[in-house]
């Protein structure tokens, strides 16, 4: 058997040397780590560039949107009525001086600049300021106004030497409706800024402004060094950077904000011209504080510190404002005049070193006093109660955001002279009443409204004893029982039924007890605690008899009385109880005023208005608040009611008003007193004005005052200061005058005992005679003479 060959032994493949293998293992991981770091650094750089690009694009969009859109939130400016001067206007030189002070006009010999005036004996020379009214722009006028006997005797144009029938002053600014942060500014264009203001700004804040591109490298380097050393981030800011900081950023001092500020400055310089940047800077910078109002921009600062338009500032005045940029509070010329003077002189010196002032100009400017006015034009309205009424009326037509940001110009109906008279009367009389009646000082409160009887314009609103208080406005928000002020509505409702009721109709003023299931008996009492039997309707109103009034109101129908009250102007529904006929229902003084406005208007309801027109910031008319007149009662019944209200003042509850005003004014009015002597009211009107006054206590405690002893004396003092026009009533065609006997209401004759002459709607006068010459020949002759007189009046009217 053959032997198998032995298998071949395979030599194992040679192994790599161990050391070489270890070296290879070490090299591969090392190579991988170096690649990761490189990639990480690349990614990091790319991510940083992307983030910087996105951030820059975001800032670019932010800058352009803000800069090219509405840059500033401009407050609405609220003005009083413009004073119109014409021959015959009742206006004394003293009143004219107060108007000039309110307008911040300045005395000057031979006035030539707008806003300047000079008194020359009994004449006033002045140059009005230009203003854009609803009917167009009115330029400055050089006027001479002559006064004689408490009136304007003549108005003439000094430049052209011709007589004028009428001239109009610019309206006084009385307040504003400010943005959320209470920023206030007056926008100015760069062309309106004096060159020395620009020179002072560039020389002090950024003398390379016109050559750099938004950043100052040396300043930035200085700021970085300070920051690295642990100091506060500061310095190095160009005007463009300052604008970016003020316009877009918060005031914090961090490197991140500084970097953002620098990027924004570059973007501003990339997109906008130097003049655009400078003009925005002039309007943006913060220059002081007026209470809670922030003063922004040089335009408003010129008015706030110097009471001048920006273009009229001198070199020294402009330099003071520029110097204040470093710290408006620290360098305030009113609080720290020495510090402000030193800072102003530093600015002047910088201007001289930049070649903007000669040595002589520098010396003269440094020698000039600061020239800051003692009392700045305040942004806080001196008439907050009236401004609240304006604001509420505006909110019916405009969004709150528009009122606070669009720079609207609102021309109102406020008459500062009327407002002043009402404020002084309320303040003075309440103090005297407290002293006379030994009431703790400051306890009594009050409210007053004055309107025009001709057009229902609200001329004055006093919301409380302190007219500058911006809190609770009693004219708008104090709802109090109106007491006897409702009685004219009750009597009007009766007189609208002439076949049943006339001024001579006898009313029952005997004891009355009303019984109703589920309620206590109602037994009204008269103020004098007496009953007067049968009394003529005109006497019941004149003496404000409660029992007779309740009986009359129930007879004509309580629902009719309440409906009449709403037609006359009351907007809220009052409770339909018998006590409502004596004024248990509550209304605000403003609501009462609307009711009496319709009465004073002869039955024509004219909603009162506090605004005449609204203009855009450029002076374009947006809305005119025209008169709206609706007839709510016939003229004849209103004539009868007004005649009876005149008797209230002649011989009724308001007869003591003769101690303050002449009887020849023929005032029509009504006193009002509520239970417990808690509320004192008086509403009355003359030929040109209606006023409603309330006096009481906020805690609703008794005052001890009736309508005549409280509110009426305030009303009387206010009207006495305003030289009111007499109330002259024009009887309608369907009216006749007849002599009647007061005690019986029957027809009588002139000269008969107890005879009074009263107006009647034709066909309603009594026909039965009282037996003393009723319907006599003398009466017929008198009536014929009256008729002829009316004919002549119509012919020559």
* Three-class secondary structure of residue 168 per DSSP: strand
DSSP state of 251: S
| Rounded distance between C-alpha atoms, residue 203 and residue 342, angstroms | 16
Q: Residue 654 corresponds to which tokens in the numbers above?
A: 């308001």
- Which whole-number Å values give the CA distances from 371 to 123, 319, 345, in the listed order? 29, 12, 14
- Which whole-number Å values give the CA distances from 736 to 85, 488, 537, 639, 760, in the listed order? 40, 21, 18, 11, 5
| Rounded distance between C-alpha atoms, residue 400 and residue 705, angstroms | 41
Q: Residue 487 corresponds to which tokens in the numbers above?
A: 């009685």
| Rounded distance between C-alpha atoms, residue 534 and residue 548, angstroms | 9
H or E element that contains 183? strand 183-184
Residues 639, 729 contacting (CB under 8 angstroms): yes
Residues 459, 416 contacting (CB under 8 angstroms): no
**Virtual torsion, Cα 649, 653, 656, 661, nearest 10 deg:** -30
DSSP state of 477: H
**Phi, psi (degrees; rounded to nearest 5) at 161:** 65, 30
DSSP string, 260-293: HHHHHHHHHHHHS-HHHHHHHHHHH-EEEEETTE
Q: Alpha helix (H) ranges present in 69-119?
A: 93-103
- What residues act catalytically? 205, 484
Q: Residue 88 corresponds to which tokens in the numbers above?
A: 């015959």
- Which whole-number Å values give the CA distances from 413 to 132, 174, 383, 390, 506, in the listed order? 17, 11, 12, 10, 44
**Virtual torsion, Cα 638, 641, 643, 649, nearest 10 deg:** -130
In degrees, rounded to 5, the angle at the alpha carbon of residue 695 between the alpha carbons of residues 690 and 699 is 145
H or E element that contains 733? none
Q: Residue 389 corresponds to which tokens in the numbers above?
A: 């009424």
- Which whole-number Å values give the CA distances from 290 to 287, 295, 333, 348, 381, in the listed order? 10, 7, 13, 27, 12
Q: Are strands 106-107 and 116-120 parallel, antiparallel or unpaired?
A: parallel
Residues 94, 85 contacting (CB under 8 angstroms): no
Q: Over the range 366-404, which residues count as b (16 or more CB within 10 Å of their CB) and which as e?
A: beeebebeeebeebebbbbbbbbbbbebbeeebeeeebb
DSSP string, 562-628: HHHHHHHT--SPPP-SGGGGGT-SEE-HHHHHHHHHHHHTTTEE---BSEEEEE-TTS-EEEE----
Q: Alpha helix (H) ranges present in 496-588?
A: 537-542, 546-556, 558-568
| Rounded distance between C-alpha atoms, residue 295 and residue 284, angstroms | 10
Number of helices (H), then strands (E), belonging to the chain: the values are 23, 31
Q: What is the CA radius of gyration of the chain?
A: 40
Q: Residue 714 corresponds to which tokens in the numbers above?
A: 């305030």
Contacts of 795 (CB under 8 A, 6+ apart): none
Residues 693, 590 contacting (CB under 8 angstroms): no
Q: How many CB atoms lie within 10 A of CB 576?
A: 12
Whose CA is closest to 710, among 662, 651, 656, 667? 656
**Phi, psi (degrees; rounded to nearest 5) at 469:** -75, 130
Q: Residue 737 corresponds to which tokens in the numbers above?
A: 């005058």
DSSP state of 90: B
Whose CA is closest to 745, among 766, 716, 719? 766
């Amino acid at each position: 058997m053959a032997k198998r060959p032995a298998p071949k032994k395979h030599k194992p493949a040679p192994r790599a040397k161990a050391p070489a293998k270890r070296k290879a293992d070490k090299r591969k991981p090392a190579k991988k780590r170096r690649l990761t770091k490189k990639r990480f650094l690349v990614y990091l750089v790319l991510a940083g560039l992307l983030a910087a690009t996105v951030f820059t694009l975001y800032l670019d969009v932010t800058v352009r949107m803000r800069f090219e859109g509405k840059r500033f939130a401009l407050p609405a400016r609220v003005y009083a009525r413009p004073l119109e001067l014409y021959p015959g206007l009742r206006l004394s030189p003293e009143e004219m001086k107060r108007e000039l002070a309110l307008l911040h006009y300045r005395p000057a010999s031979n006035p030539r600049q707008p806003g300047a005036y000079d008194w020359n004996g009994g004449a006033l020379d002045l140059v009005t300021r230009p203003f854009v009214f609803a009917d167009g722009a009115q330029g400055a006028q050089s006027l001479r106004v002559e006064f004689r006997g408490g009136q304007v005797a003549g108005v003439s144009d000094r430049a052209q030497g011709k007589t004028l029938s009428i001239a109009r002053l610019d309206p006084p600014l009385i307040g504003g409706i400010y943005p959320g942060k209470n920023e206030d500014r007056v926008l100015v264009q760069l062309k309106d800024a004096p060159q020395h203001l620009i020179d002072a700004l560039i020389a002090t804040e950024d003398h390379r402004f016109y050559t750099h591109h938004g950043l100052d490298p040396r300043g930035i380097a200085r700021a970085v060094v300070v920051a690295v050393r642990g100091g506060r981030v500061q310095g190095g800011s160009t005007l463009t950077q300052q604008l970016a900081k003020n316009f877009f950023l918060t005031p914090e001092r961090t490197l991140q904000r500084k970097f953002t500020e620098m990027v924004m400055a570059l973007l501003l310089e990339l997109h906008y011209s130097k003049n655009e940047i400078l003009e925005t800077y002039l309007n943006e910078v913060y220059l002081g504080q007026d209470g809670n109002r922030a003063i922004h921009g040089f335009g408003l600062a010129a008015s706030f510190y110097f009471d001048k338009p920006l273009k009229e500032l001198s070199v020294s005045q402009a330099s003071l404002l520029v110097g204040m940029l470093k710290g408006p509070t620290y360098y305030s010329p009113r609080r720290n005049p020495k510090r402000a003077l030193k800072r102003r002189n530093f600015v002047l010196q910088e201007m001289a070193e930049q070649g903007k002032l000669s040595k002589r100009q520098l010396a003269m400017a440094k020698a000039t006093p600061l020239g800051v006015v003692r009392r700045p034009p305040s942004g806080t309205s001196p008439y907050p109660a009236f401004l609240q009424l304006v604001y509420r009326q505006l909110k019916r037509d405009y969004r709150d955001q528009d009122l606070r940001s669009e720079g609207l110009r609102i021309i109102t109906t406020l008459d500062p002279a009327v407002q002043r008279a009402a404020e002084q009367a309320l303040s003075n009389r309440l103090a005297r009443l407290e002293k006379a009646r030994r009431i703790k000082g400051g306890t009594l409160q009050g409210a007053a409204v004055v309107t025009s009887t001709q057009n229902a314009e609200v001329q004055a609103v006093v919301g409380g004893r302190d007219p500058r208080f911006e809190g609770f406005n009693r004219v708008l928000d104090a709802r109090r029982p109106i007491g006897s002020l409702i009685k004219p509505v009750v009597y009007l409702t009766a007189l609208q039924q002439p076949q049943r009721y006339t001024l001579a109709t006898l009313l029952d003023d005997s004891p009355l007890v009303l019984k109703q299931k589920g309620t206590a008996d109602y037994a009204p009492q008269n103020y004098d605690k007496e009953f007067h039997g049968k009394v003529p309707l005109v006497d019941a109103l004149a003496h404000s008899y409660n029992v007779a009034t309740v009986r009359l109101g129930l007879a004509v129908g309580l629902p009719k009385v309440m409906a009449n009250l709403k037609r006359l102007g009351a907007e809220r529904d009052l409770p339909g109880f018998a006590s409502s006929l004596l004024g248990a229902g509550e209304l605000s003084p403003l609501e009462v005023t609307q009711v009496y406005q319709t009465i004073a208007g002869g039955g024509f309801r004219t909603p009162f208005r506090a605004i005449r027109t609204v203009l855009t910031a450029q002076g374009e008319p947006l809305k005119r608040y025209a008169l709206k007149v609706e007839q709510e009662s016939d003229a004849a019944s209103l004539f009868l009611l007004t005649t009876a209200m005149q008797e209230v003042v002649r011989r009724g509850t308001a007869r003591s008003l003769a101690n303050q005003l002449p009887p020849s004014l023929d005032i029509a009015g009504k006193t009002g007193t509520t239970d417990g002597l808690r509320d004192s009211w008086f509403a009355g009107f003359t030929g040109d004005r209606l006023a409603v006054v309330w006096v009481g206590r906020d805690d609703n405690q008794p005052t001890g005052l009736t309508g005549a002893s409280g509110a009426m004396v305030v009303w009387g003092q206010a009207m006495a200061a305003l030289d009111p026009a007499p109330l002259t009533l024009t009887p309608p065609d369907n009216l006749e005058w007849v002599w009647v006997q007061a005690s019986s209401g029957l027809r009588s004759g002139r000269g008969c005992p107890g005879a009074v002459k009263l107006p009647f709607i034709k066909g309603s006068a009594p026909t039965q005679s009282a037996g003393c010459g009723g319907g006599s020949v003398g009466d017929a002759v008198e009536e014929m003479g009256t008729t002829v007189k009316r004919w002549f009046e119509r012919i020559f009217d």
